[in-house]
Structure 1
Amino acid sequence: MAKESTKLNSEYLYNRDDFQITPKMKQSFDKYGYILVRGLLDNEEVEKVKKVFENATSEQILEDNKMRVSDGQGREAKLIVWSHPGNDVSGMVSRSQKVAGTCEKLMGEEVYHYHGKLVSKEAFTGGSHLWHQDYGYWYKNGCLLPNMMTVFIALDKCTKGNGCLQILESSHTCGRLDHELMHGQQAIPDIKRVEQIKERCPLVWCEMNPGDALFFHSNMMHTSGQNSSPNRRWALLTAFNTKSNNPTKQHHHPCYTPLTKVPDAAIKECENYTLDLSQMGFVHPSQSQTSRPSLTKEQEEATTRS
């Protein structure tokens, strides 16, 4: 029988004065496919990031570029995707040593910003994400190796009730599984295979507080449930690719672009709360090549005209 738990085997506490990736943490990432760092962003940093996405100017930008992804059960998750980190507070987070620098140490080489995302599951209506691997998407973009990863930073409290992440520990060692389009999401179609993997790779619920960060390998299998609670669930995600894994073709995410990293202190020093349309390169729903999210009527008309 498959095991389920809320206890993570690869969990660490962020210490602002002495945080570094130790050999033990690297070994843990290689074994389990992730590390969870509690308190990577403190309360002030979280509030600064939320201020970027909650102001009136940003709300319009987000609305214009929102992808609504159906879960096949009458609900939707919402995504906003961009190509490059801007000079606002959220960009400082993605470019910081404790985010990008940590990824370089975990991957063992230079990384670049593959794309960023704001993922939202609104109260009572937020949809689920089906079982998948990020590399299941990215493989189709000409990335030949799974030497890629994602950093999931909770901006709101993530619980079982509002659709927190669920992961299969060590499932990244199973390699890439085939993915097909299901309800507008690239997902693993062979659920029997997933159930078999659960027998050996425990399912863990990643309940997180605002500021907690999950660094995970691109082949780790994960899913998340619907949000049936009265509490919103927002998360900032940054995907990184390694320089040596530069895609073999042009697609809707960037090829290798050198990343200018910043000190961690830049997050609190930054007072720019305006998303930069020219710098970030938002990905319109009609441009996505790896999924077909639900479009608004206006977006469908724009796609038809183009």
Structure 2
Amino acid sequence: MTLLDTTTADRYPTRVADRPSLIERVEPTVWGGTEVPGPLSSDELAAHDRDGFVTVPELLTPDEVAAYSAELDRLATDPRIREDERTIVEKSSRQVRSVFEVHRISDAVAALVADERVAGRARQILGSDVYVHQSRINYKPGFGGGGFYWHSDFETWHAEDGMPAPRAVSMSIALTENHPHNGCLMIMPGSHRTFVACVGETPADHYKESLREQEIGTPDPESLTTLADRHGIAMLTGPAGSATLFDSNCMHGSADNITPYARSNIFVVFNSVDNGLTEPFAAPAPRPSYIAAREITPIPR
């Protein structure tokens, strides 16, 4: 089904003022409560509510890690995939950085996304049926894998895609070891409760540059310092097969990978079926559907 356009009050205005601001969140993080049965325990749901993220040490078995790693290698070396508009390459090295809408390109990834270990955790957190807002595989090769500057995904999805509320959750599934030194995910625990309104008007077709290196929609140094001083910074490390679920409004980022050790992951964003996209709140036009799905297709239970 497709959500009809509706008039939605903007509780999180961003990219519309000449000064940044901090807006305290009004919506919950765990929408169904911490006692909802499912793959996550009540303690894990409470941790997600408190910190904005929760880790799953052994989501995949070693055999599954090997199979999905082979699938990522196949996609990265397929000339047709490289030429596809859904593939993003590094600005300098021209190596594959991301492949979007991967759950529609790869049957193996589609099966993983629908797996109860994955989608079931998203349903628990969001308190509803869910659909895939975005999926991608991220490659961060050794000696040149680019980082992602500090940002809130919800700020981008709200401004450029028209996501009304932060009722979305991302899952990053590691297919390589995540070390502190190879560009691991960094999150400010608790930052999901504060929305950072950014400055700077969104240019047309901004996604063509922002998916390689984002500038518009990144927080100012003062706001980042305030959040870091308030919450600290967690470096999320772990073995291949581990996963992290994190709230759409978490302040997070990662550094460049200048080590020999690659870091690759499958990344899936689940949105609540009750939080479908409207018109962008701060962009001239919606981004393509392979970056932000506008059709709501619930993942079957």
Q: Report the TM-score range of the alignment, normalised by the length of the smaller protein.
A: 0.7 to 0.9
Q: 2:194 aligns with which of 148, 152, 174?
A: 174
8 Å Cα contact 1:123-1:227 kept in structure 2 = yes
SS in 1 for 2:274: helix
Q: What pairs up with 1:89-104 in 2 under 5 angstroms?
A: 89-104=108-123
SS in 2 for 1:51: helix
Residue 288 of structure 1 corresponds to which residue in structure 2? none
Q: What pairs up with 1:1-306 in 2 under 5 angstroms?
A: 20-55=39-74, 59-65=78-84, 66-68=87-89, 70=91, 78-82=97-101, 84-85=103-104, 88-140=107-159, 141-178=161-198, 184-185=213-214, 186-249=216-279, 251-252=287-288, 253-261=292-300
SS in 2 for 1:116: strand
8 Å Cα contact 1:95-1:259 kept in structure 2 = no
Residues 253-262 or 74-83, more deviating: 74-83
SS in 1 for 2:45: helix
**Identity, % of aligned pairs?**
23
Q: In structure 2, do the counterparts of structure 1 residues 125 and 243 end up closer, same or farther at CA, with 3 Å as the change threshold? A: same
**Tell me, which stretches of 5 or more residues in structure 1 are unaligned?**
1-17, 263-306
Q: Which has the higher helix share?
A: 1
Q: CA deviation at 1:75?
A: 9.6
**Tell me, which stretches of 5 or more residues in structure 2 are unaligned?**
1-36, 203-209, 280-285
Normalising by structure 1, we get a TM-score of 0.72
Q: CA deviation at 1:156?
A: 0.9
8 Å Cα contact 1:168-1:201 kept in structure 2 = yes
Q: Which residue identity lines up with residue 45 of structure 1 in the other structure? A: E
What is the distance in 2 between the residues matched to 1:84 and 1:232? 22
8 Å Cα contact 1:52-1:88 kept in structure 2 = no
Residue 278 of structure 1 corresponds to which residue in structure 2? none
Q: CA deviation at 1:144?
A: 0.8
Q: In structure 2, do the counterparts of structure 1 residues 20 and 63 end up closer, same or farther at CA, with 3 Å as the change threshold? A: same
Normalising by structure 2, we get a TM-score of 0.73
What is the distance in 2 between the residues matched to 1:29 and 1:201? 15
What is the distance in 2 between the residues matched to 1:58 and 1:242? 34
Q: Which residue identity lines up with residue 242 of structure 2 in the other structure? A: D
Q: Which residue identity lines up with residue 54 of structure 1 in the other structure? A: D
What is the root-mean-square deviation of aligned Cα atoms in Å? 2.6
SS in 2 for 1:199: helix
Q: CA deviation at 1:49?
A: 1.1
